[in-house]
Amino acid sequence: GEDVEQSLFLSVREGDSSVINCTYTDSSSTYLYWYKQEPGAGLQLLTYIFSNMDMKQDQRLTVLLNKKDKHLSLRIADTQTGDSAIYFCAEIRSNTGKLIFGQGTTLQVKP
């Protein structure tokens, strides 16, 4: 398909792990990103991964990339209430250089 796709909603309990999934479209995309948006705020870059990597870990965040399936995931370990936000995955379209976003996954963390 033409769209970057994400599930719309995820609810977890505080302390659990959260896994947010994304399917992207451009197999030639060099970078893939995860952004976080808190209510009423702009976008905060959480992490990114080069297309030649399978995994990247940064403190509580783990990004997994499956290029064959064009699947990207973000795992948040020990999820906290402050992690409640909308998470967007994004790809760079190789032919235009444009950054294209998924629909966003709303993460709800219950105490």
Partner 1 sequence: GAVVSQHPSRVICKSGTSVKIECRSLDFQATTMFWYRQFPKKSLMLMATSNEGSKATYEQGVEKDKFLINHASLTLSTLTVTSAHPEDSSFYICSAPTGYGYTFGSGTRLTVV
**Residues that bind partner 1 in the complex, under the rule CB under 8 A:** 31, 33, 35, 40-43, 45, 48, 88, 97-104, 106
Q: 83 or 88: whose CB is closer to partner 1?
A: 88
Sort residue 68 into left (φ over 0), alpha (ψ -120 to 50) or beta: alpha
Q: Please give the DSSP secondary-structure letter assigned to residue 84.
A: -
Least Å distance, CB 15 to partner 1, is: 27
Least Å distance, CB 26 to partner 1, is: 14
Q: 39 or 82: whose CB is closer to partner 1?
A: 39
Report the alpha-carbon distance of residue 82 to residue 96 in Å, rounded: 35
